[in-house]
Amino acid sequence: MSEDLQESVKPQLPENVRVRFCPSPTGTPHVGMVRTALFNWAEARHTGGTLVFRIEDTDAQRDSEESYNQIIDALTWLGIDWDEGINVGGPDGPYRQSERGQIYADVAQKLLDAGYAYESFSTPEEIAARNEAAGRPKEFGYDGYDRNLTEEQKEAFRAEGRKPALRIKMPDEDIKFNDLIRGEIEFKAGSVPDYVIVRPNGDPLYTLTNPVDDAMMNINVVLRGEDLLSSTPRQIVLYRYLMELGVSKEMPLFGHMPYVMGEGHKKLSKRDPESNLFLHRENGFIKEGLLNYLALLGWSISPDNDIFSMEEMIKAFDVRNVKANPAHFDLDKAISINAEHIRILEPRDFLNRSVPYLFREGLVSAKVWEDLTPREREILTAAAPLVQTRVRLLGEVPGMVGSLLSTDEYLEPEADAHKQIKESAPAVLDAAIAALEAVDEADWTTDNLHETLNKALVEDGGYKPRLAFGPVRVALSGRRVSPPLFESMEVVGKPVSIARLKNLRAHVDEILAAKAAK
């Protein structure tokens, strides 16, 4: 195969674009799969075309109903909708390959009758032995041995109890096509051997089912991963035969999207944690942030803008602008982009999306906003502006607001918070308690608390702000990083705030002793 990545004239898209997303239900949905769905969806929406969603589930050993349902769940959560296919219907169903067996059998028979396919009785062991005898590597591949078997030879194999596979005859010519992403690509004659489309037991293979489905569903733009590029000459040849047989109307355009690379610049595997879509959701990615980042894996909206909405992506997207070079999945950048999208949520939307994460951690009484207690809603409404600009993932919200929701009068400091407990902490806490006890509950407001503590600790006490407010923050939240201190104290209220300061004071000598002993 030779591949020219120089600037070349890429094909024009059809007038009525029809793309498809056709995953196999094996394992948990992964980011590479979603990137494929996203680019197909964006192309369909940009052109006013049609997205067909079907399931390739002919591998009974690996396919599962659980994975099928997870794929539906993933697309629904992300807002990637489709026009024809699973749960929607359309003129070309059924849309699960496991329900299309007779269609494949009929097409295979037509290919055989027309001489485009032939019966192949060779076993893998026989193919390897012939390669070795001819001085080729055993793994060289199929040698075309069965192409010209006589009827007598075929009958002899059948008499042995052998059943034939069906293979497609590859022409002795170069196969060229103009890739929507990569430009002109050429596979030299003889580089792709005759390939199996139906196993000896009658089961159709992906090499048959995928192109047949595309042909019968009138798919005219095939956007898929770079890993499938080597199979494209097979599909092109099969399409020629299907067009001759009247099964297909036209040859589709192909576009092969770049690999998504993980750590160490290796192809991102389904087994890599950063590949797991639902793990990202559990950690608190929102759909806007995750889709925005996945869109950047091979495409960009403009050189100086990484943050955009799906509406903006649809308006700008053209698959011909996707880069051919591998894309690297950078979790830190993904989280950073997610943080930007969290910040622009409406406050109530932010709260609605955060509640399930708070419920999961046992901090609130219900999974949805409407079922929370009045106290929970009041505190979270006050907390939203304090934390929304400080979290990057919704999974961080519980840690930020847990101290505000809690009525506990002592919060055990997290290990990381011990760094804020310096030798001056006992005196700081004593001074803070004395100053705050003198504040009226009616004056327990953010501005007054700031003024009171700043005077007592910084101006009068002479402490630097970090030493002055660090122990107070730890007392109120149990954490080194928390929502803004004085706003938090107002939300928590005077009785609990004072109690937490006193209880940390009671433990602070013990904490300092433990630090000194290390």
pLDDT of residue 273: 83
Domain range annotation of the chain: 98-257, 273-342, 351-405, 417-517
Contacts of 388 (CB under 8 A, 6+ apart): 342, 343, 345, 347, 350
CA distance 55 to 486: 54
**CATH label, 417-517, candidates 3.20.19.10, 1.10.10.350, 3.40.228.10, 3.40.50.10860:** 1.10.10.350
Helices then strands, counting H and E runs in the chain, come out as 19, 13
Instruction: Identify whether 483 is preceded by a cis peptide bond (ω within 30 of 0).
Output: no
CA distance 184 to 288: 35
Q: Can you read off the two tokens belonging to residue 207? A: 């090499």
- Assign a CATH topology to domain 273-342: Glutamyl-tRNA Synthetase; domain 2 (1.10.1160)
Q: What is the CATH number of domain 98-257?
A: 3.90.800.10
Q: Among all chains, which residue has been given the structure tokens 């040849």?
A: 237
CA distance 502 to 500: 5
pLDDT of residue 2: 43
CA distance 283 to 338: 11
pLDDT (tens digit per residue) in 439-491: 999 999 999 999 999 999 999 999 999 999 999 999 999 999 999 999 999 99
pLDDT of residue 1: 46
Around Cβ 91, how many Cβ atoms within 10 Å?
A: 8
Known binding-site residue numbers? 270
Contacts of 334 (CB under 8 A, 6+ apart): 280, 285, 289, 290, 293
Counting residues of the chain whose pLDDT is more than 90, the rounded percentage is 91
**Which residues have a catalytic role annotated?**
270
- pTM recorded for the entire structure: 0.92
**Is 490 in a helix, a strand, or coil?**
helix
477 exposure class (CB count in 10 Å sphere: 0-12, 13-18, 19+): buried
Query: In one letter, which amino acid is 56?
Result: E
pLDDT of residue 8: 58
Q: Is residue 214 within 8 Å of 33, Cβ to Cβ?
A: no
Contacts of 327 (CB under 8 A, 6+ apart): 258, 259, 260, 261, 296, 297, 298
The list of the chain residues with pLDDT below 70 reads: 1-8
Known binding-site residue numbers for ATP? 270
Q: Among all chains, which residue has been given the structure tokens 């992300």?
A: 78
